[in-house]
Amino acid sequence: MLKKLEASQPDSCWNKAQDDEIVFVLLARDPAATAAIVAWCNERVRLGKNGPDDPKIEEALRCAAEMAH
């Protein structure tokens, strides 16, 4: 998601984070970002936290694909 959209949407992950919660940001220009996102998706599914067709996983994979270009 674009930075400006993430900050402007009240239900975004960024805005849902607790004030004392640690967050980690991956930038599209980081060549490791795509692999990190795909690995996160795979681990979430492996742990049973999400299904492969979960909207959160689908959005993350779309984001990774966009970053790869």
Count of domains in the chain? 1
pLDDT confidence tier of residue 41, bands split at 50, 70 and 90 = very high
Residue 40 structural domain: 32-69
Asked whether residue 7 is assigned to any structural domain, the reply reads no
pLDDT confidence tier of residue 3, bands split at 50, 70 and 90 = confident
Rounded to two decimals, what is the model's pTM? Answer: 0.85
Asked whether residue 18 is assigned to any structural domain, the reply reads no
Asked whether residue 22 is assigned to any structural domain, the reply reads no
What integer pLDDT is reported at residue 51 of this predicted model?
98
CB 45 within 8 A of CB 52: yes
CA–CA distance, 33 with 53 (Å, rounded to integer): 21
Asked whether residue 20 is assigned to any structural domain, the reply reads no
